[in-house]
Amino acid sequence: MTAADLLVVITDVMLRGIGEIYFPVSFLTITPVCRLIAILISTASTASVWFTVVFTFDRFVAICCQKLKTKYCTEKTAAAVIGVVSALSCLLNIPWCFVFDPEYIMDNIPRGCVLKTTFFTSSAWAAFDLFNLVLTPCLPFILILLFNLLTARHILVASSVRRGLRGRSNGENYKDPEMENRRKSIILLFSISGSFILLWSTFIFYIISPRTANVQYYTASDIESAAFMLQLLSSCTNTCIYVVTQTKFREELKNGVKYPLNKIVTFVKS
């Protein structure tokens, strides 16, 4: 999930955003490269959103479905799910290869990317656009809310029963390690899925409103800038949340930073 978020930052922010502003005439603006960047952005965004859904479902199974937990919450299953989501994200975004035309020609080189006119008139492209809208992010939005509500309900009921039993047997001030683990799990779950819901809400409003108002698209506006800014910001939050809440993640991150430095120091000394 963090890797997918990082790809969104690299492709959308660095290659497209910074490239368009500071390098308006470079290899990044050549139409095939521009088209490839657009496909990578869409693929990374789809993977990032659905990895958040998968994570939410994983926590739901781990907390609420104890019988299914032993079969589903394994490294083998996690690897399979990651592979399937990654492959489907790539396949579902293949049609974007055929939707862009060159914006202009410079020195006999096609540059820039603009949507084909048939994208706005063809019923097939309209169906694809609607399918893409439902798939990312409307359906994930609903699924994350549903799994969070079910998980929260289960935790509240189970915690209430457990506190009552523990209080009668060991006294009210007894510190329950199981309750501490549940508290950490719910904080991590709600931090990641909650930030996704909050940061994507403006973007969902922005892309749904023109369609419900029978408007083809919005022109540049404050809500457009805010929607895309918050959407991109959502790709930065998961890493920060992991750093704050997960000890093992912090340790692996430190090891990843120290490894190349140790190699450089060893090379210099030798």
- Dihedral over Cα of 204, 209, 214, 217: its sign: negative
Q: Are 86 and 39 in contact (CB under 8 A)?
A: no
171: left (phi > 0), else alpha (psi -120 to 50), else beta?
A: left
Query: Rounded to whole angstroms, how far apart are CA atoms 201 and 162?
Result: 36
Q: Which residue has the higher pLDDT, 82 or 155?
A: 82
pLDDT for the residue numbered 176: 64
pLDDT class of 50 with cuts at 50, 70, 90 = very high
Under the banding of pLDDT at 50, 70 and 90, the label for residue 40 is very high
Q: How confident is the model at residue 36 (pLDDT cuts 50, 70, 90)?
A: very high
- The fold of 2-248 is Rhopdopsin 7-helix transmembrane proteins (1.20.1070)
Decide: 197 and 235 in contact? Cβ < 8 Å.
no
Fill in the DSSP letter of residue 213.
T
Of 41-50, 167-176, 243-252, the one with minimum mean pLDDT is 167-176
pLDDT in tens, 139-178: 988 898 898 888 888 877 777 776 666 655 554 555 667 6
Q: Tell me 138's DSSP state.
A: I
What average pLDDT does the segment 103-116 reach? 89
pLDDT at 75: 85
What CA–CA distance (Å, rounded) separates 195 from 241?
10
Task: Kindly list the domain boundaries of the chain, sorted by start residue.
Answer: 2-248
Report the mean per-residue pLDDT for the chain.
Answer: 81
pLDDT of 93: 93
